[in-house]
Amino acid sequence: MTGKIDAYIDCVSPYSYYAALYLRRNRKALESHGIEVEFHPIFLGGVNVGSGNKPPWTLPAKAAYGKFDSQRACKYFGVPPIRTPDFFPILSIMPQRCLIYIKKHYPREKYERTFLSLSEWMYHQNIDVSKPEKLAELLKSHDFTTEDIEKILAAASSPEYKQALTANTQKALDLGAYGAPWFWVRNAQGQEEPFFGSDRFAFMWQYLGLPFQDISIIEKEKAKL
């Protein structure tokens, strides 16, 4: 591999969801250039506290703007409109710990699809995935066996996976994170830099030295052809 994208994400963050969708859609192209992508579960609440940041919904101006930005992002990334559930924000500690266990014990595709489903269930189906019984239903929908589900949920309460999520979160903070998704990117020259959010990929591709087609405006007459 000539480069790597370490993505620090939390299911409570819709922009982590968008970023995961986008990077997975482009993984084949990235791998053709020797770029590896790895997703790391973190606890966004811990990042906010550790960095001194405030969630956007707690600031009236950001919350008002977020309604427009969310609609635009859903359209751009090709997903149904997000509906903020009554129970939002969830305490994402349990599902994030479960993801760390799944990442360690199951294939990458199953781990990543489970992450995407956490956001899909919460934002598109209005299901509180922080509840153990709902989380169990979600895992069952991904063909985890009853025994698998019991082990995954039990892991979320174990010292090993409590510490693992804390360590991931602290790692993100050590890399300068103040929100999610947070990316730490290494290029072919061994240089490393941070990137934030789901709308900075063009900057990332430039840093990695990748050929890409940026957004361009088509002249009106040419658009008619």
Q: Could you read off the pLDDT of 183-218 as tens digits, one per residue?
A: 999 999 999 999 999 999 999 999 999 999 888 888
pLDDT at 1 over 90: no
- 186: Cβ contacts below 8 Å, ≥ 6 apart: 3, 4, 192
CATH of the domain at 66: 3.40.30.10
Residue 68 lies in a domain: yes
For residue 223, tell me if it sits in a domain: no
Structural domain includes residue 215: no
Q: What is the DSSP letter of 13?
A: -
Over range 90-109, report the average pLDDT.
97
Average pLDDT over residues 124-139: 97
Could you tell me if residue 152 is inside a domain? yes
**pLDDT for position 82:** 87
What does the pLDDT look like over 146-167, one tens digit per residue?
Answer: 999 999 999 999 999 999 999 9
Q: Please name the residues in contact with 15: beta carbons below 8 A apart, sequence gap of 6 or more.
A: 73, 180, 181, 197, 198
* pLDDT of the residue at 224: 64
Candidates 198, 173, 185, 164; CA nearest to 53 is 173
Residue at 116 is within a domain:
yes
42 within domain boundaries: yes
Whether this model's pTM surpasses 0.75: yes
**Residue 81 lies inside a defined structural domain of this protein:** yes
Catalytic residue among 13, 16, 117, 130: 13
What is the number of structural domains in the chain? 1
Q: Kindly state whether residue 168 falls inside one of the protein's structural domains.
A: yes
Least confident of 42-51, 132-141, 185-194, 206-215: 206-215
Q: What is the DSSP letter of 11?
A: T
| Mean pLDDT on 73-80 | 92
Sheet of strand 192-196: strand arrangement: 35-41, 3-9, 182-186, 192-196
Cα–Cα distance between 218 and 216 in angstroms, integer? 6
Task: Examine the residue annotation and report whether 158 is marked as an active-site residue of this protein.
Answer: no
Please give the residue range of the domain that contains residue 144: 3-210
